[in-house]
Structure 1
């Protein structure tokens, strides 16, 4: 039997050479090193390429492992638990009840069950006549706590059995027909536009599905999950920072209902999944979808401006949201609508209230922490805002990023009866920033790209991925930053969001969803060349490859017809605003 030399890199950087036979899988090798890891090993990296643990050793190689605490490991774990959930639902209800994973919610997925009431042919006919969301809504099945107990019990039964999750390579056309017969039309339409001639299907005890990415080798390692009832469905909860304990559900009612409203937009547009978007593009409806989406967004911004303008006490509109949410374009469009409603908006960036550079707090590594609240002169901000409320003329500061100093350039401001400040900054929702400003004078808006598009029935599209792709395109165009650098800094950006933005999102008076249902079809054209520019030996290559696979599901759309005031113009260029 052939033997191979395997160099295994451990978490502490130590490299150990071992021998593996041609019959050994990565899982067998991983079992020798599991004591070196605090978390469960779920994937391998062989010569720089991600591999599932059931992959056999076929040559001398360099190997490292991915655990359930790592980014790719967490994604793999979640996909695998969704397949486990599908098998349990089949066990409890039979084939006439289907799972639909709607969207992320906290450290989990909000899900609904749908009861199939028609044969596959009549379902297909209805699918062609109506939107996929509409047909689902009509067949939605309520979920009781007793139902959830049965599902969870079934899931743990399969975990104890440690059943193999089997990977099958199938012709794309075969898989498309298979899912059509199963009534999984979102998945069928997704595969209809796949360029690859073959796809990987995964089977768990008779349940077959297609997933966007790698899977765990068996159910035995899927020990950590929970299900809690929520609204008309339930939330499937996963481990968070600690891979062996499940994060409790932190209810985000405003966020949930914002996402729910976005589903209504999708229903109006007839676009809920990548497959249905591709169908619209292929049918020549791309421009129509684009204009409808932009009209709906403008209507929502106008309604928001009317709500603000109707209250004379509101003097400070405070806008905050995570990176690449389109905050600047949104603030400009909101200002225009406020003018149309008789108000006089004045833009203000919280960056102008940075403390001088030498006073800025630092990270443990000595770098400046520009994202913490202490980097803002909170005392001066509150003093200036209260002076404005009293009708005084205030000399407004400007921060010079080159010198790291606050400057005064003679920019005087007085707030009259119709004047209103539109304030943009990451701490806008944090009451510690504006603690001395009376609440009745503040209107707080949380903005984020909360995509209403799903990959298919069982695979939600990550809102974080959409924002990352936005940022890759924008930073390459405006800052000369390549995709590798943007991907490398993204974990730090996300850390800042988790600490300074997300904890305060529910304190917003209104949440605004800046995602455009068609945008990834447009961004694809700009992002793909940037991502292909990342070399295989770069640490960011695996993430680039994953994003390229995601974009490959979309048919491209040209940017020509996008209005110049669109939020998307902030990223692809051509905006009428100074963004």
Structure 2
């Protein structure tokens, strides 16, 4: 008699019995689910698994498609492998690094011994299309870690060797596509045939791999040129390549060799050097009176503005901070979102005419009384604080709308200097596995919310999608408007964050949907060797999140 197990499906609220050893694919077909874009992965007891996954016990299942963030990660990783195989088939001796999420795609550094030409890119696209059309299976293989390390060593895949050597697991898994093997952090599709929508194009001296839109997976994501953003990433990658610290495996090895103090000091020095350059640039522009600082959640804008203020003072400039929060409209006039809730992230939650009139008066040499917004009553009040711009004084305004031209539409451009701040994670897990910058910021926010705001990791993870929606609407479209970009991510920070984040993440219970994200982040953090924070200076941007800062917030 065939032993059966019970599957409870969250998609249609049905329960199904299947033979033990059945796969997620078997369950999907047996449930007769109608998913327009098909499943790409599934949550099994709130852990994301590939559709290869086999059942040996009763489980709860929720199938995911590419419109979910997790499903899109599965699709993208699978596309990475197809790109890796296509490039290897065409250029066996080349070096390919999947480096940077930019321009709503992924910038890839491809070195074939000569400059890349359009014909090369066309050949890569055609080979990728052949692989997709052939519907080749992705095989997931588990083996002793030492065997996987030896195999990758024979193939010259050094970054994977170092990652697995430092990870410390007894067993590991890797994937095989035809005769090509690779290691990927997370699940892949069952076969290449599901990767219908993609493109690859020449982008500066590398490639841009384009992916489907989550909102409409039958079409490519609309491309947005982000030259300034790309240059920030490339600047850091060039430095990391010079010092031999391009991947997590390199970083872990350096820590194990006792170089942690050096890594901290150099990373902090690089950031300070950048802040000094920005301060010097501001000093050189004699007409500047307003510095606008913007960036997404947990990017370290507050600490950056404080450190920039110190460097400005060292240059003989007197910074004066202005809070955008004090220019909110009275609560009764605040716009509402699609759910009928007050939308405080909207640009139009601010009294733009009043804000611009005060700036114009200050620039004209007049004295103004700054407002104060009373969050308890929901009404803007007079603060009693008077301000007149003195010689060598400059206003600093930090907020999510700082780069939006509409915020200061009535102020002449000659008076404004815009700075975009974000944690742009540049270290790679290995050559074919980048680290999402949003993961870095989410981990920072989880720690800060827990330590200073009384929120659990569950609360923060649950809110994160709405935070990201606000960023997509109000911040990211204006990134390239910046006069300067500042990368607040530190090379060593995820090793420090690991110590504080893991215990907080472990408190997320298994029976909530957010568990899958907490589990993924925990698994990811364990790739880093832990690093103590006792040598991090009190002025570090990271102190804003892990504590111990000499600044007051």
Normalising by structure 1, we get a TM-score of: 0.92
Alignment of 1:171-570 (within 5 A): 171-241=144-214, 242-267=216-241, 269-570=243-544
**2:487, 2:388 → 1: CA distance?**
32
1:2 equivalent to 2:3? Answer yes
Secondary structure at the counterpart of residue 429 of structure 2: strand
Q: Which runs of 5+ in 2 are unaligned?
A: none
CA distance in 1, matches of 2:99, 2:479: 21
Per-residue deviation at 1:20?
A: 2.6
Distance in 1 between residues matched to 2:546 and 2:336, nearest whole Å: 33
- Residue of structure 1 in register with 2:80 after alignment: 82
Provide the rounded CA distance (Å) in 2 between the counterparts of 1:313 and 1:264: 34
Find the partner of 1:102 among 99, 116, 123.
Answer: 99
> How far did residue 558 of structure 1 move?
1.0
Q: Is the 8 A contact 1:189 1:275 kept in 2?
A: yes
2:48 aligned partner: 50
1:269 Cα deviation from its structure 2 partner: 4.3
Q: Could you say which residue in structure 1 is the equivalent of 2:111?
A: 114
The CA distance in 1 between the partners of 2:32 and 2:544, in whole Å, is: 46
Contact 1:394 1:413 in 2 (8 A): yes
What residue is the counterpart of 2:70 in the other structure? 72
Change beyond 3 A, Cα 1:238–1:194: same
Task: Identify unmatched segments of 5+ residues in structure 1.
Answer: 116-138
Superposed displacement of residue 360, structure 1: 0.9
Q: Note if contact 1:320-1:446 (Cα within 8 Å) is conserved in structure 2.
A: yes
The secondary structure found in structure 1 opposite 2:410 is coil
Contact persistence 1:172–1:194 (CA under 8 A): no
C-alpha separation in 1, matches of 2:381 and 2:242 = 49
Q: Does the 8 A contact of 1:100 with 1:113 survive in 2? A: yes
1:272-318 deviation digits (Å, cap 9, x = unpaired): 11111111111111111111111121111111101101112100000
Contact 1:163 1:218 in 2 (8 A): yes
Aligned mate of 1:26, from 24, 28, 32: 24
- Alpha-carbon deviations, 1:547-571, whole Å to 9, x = none? 0111101011111111111111101
Runs of 4 or more consecutive aligned structure 1 residues displaced over 6 Å after TM superposition = none
- 1:45-100 Cα offsets, whole Å, 9 max, x none, are 23333222122343443322011111111101111111111111122223x12321
Distance 1:23 1:416 in 2: 76
SS at match of 2:40: strand
CA distance in 1, matches of 2:274, 2:129: 45
CA contact (8 A) 2:41 2:50 kept: yes
Alpha-carbon displacement from aligned partner over 1:417-457 (angstroms, at most 9, x marks no partner): 21100110111111111000001000001111111111000
Q: Which residue of 2 aligns with 1:130?
A: none
* In 2: Cα distance, 1:101 partner to 1:223 partner: 20
Return the offset for 1:170: 1.1
**Aligned pair in 2 of structure 1 residues 49, 310: CA closer, same or farther (>3 Å)?**
closer
**Aligned equivalent of 1:165:** 138
Q: Which residue of 2 aligns with 1:121?
A: none
Tell me the CA shift for residue 2 of structure 1. 3.3
Count residues with an aligned counterpart. Answer: 551
Conservation of the 8 A alpha-carbon contact between 1:269 and 1:289: no
Contact 2:144 2:171 in 1 (8 A): yes
Q: Following the alignment from structure 1 to structure 2, what is the Cα–Cα distance between the partners of residues 365 and 68?
A: 25
- Can you list the C-alpha shifts for 1:520-560, whole angstroms capped at 9, x where unaligned? 11111111110011111121111011101111010111111
**Distance in 2 (alpha carbons) for counterparts of 1:268 and 1:384:** 48
**So what's the TM-score if we normalise by structure 2?**
0.97
Whole-angstrom CA distance in 2 between matches of 1:90 and 1:22:
38
Partner Cα separation in structure 2 for residue 441 and residue 15 of structure 1: 59
Corresponding residue SS for 2:510: coil
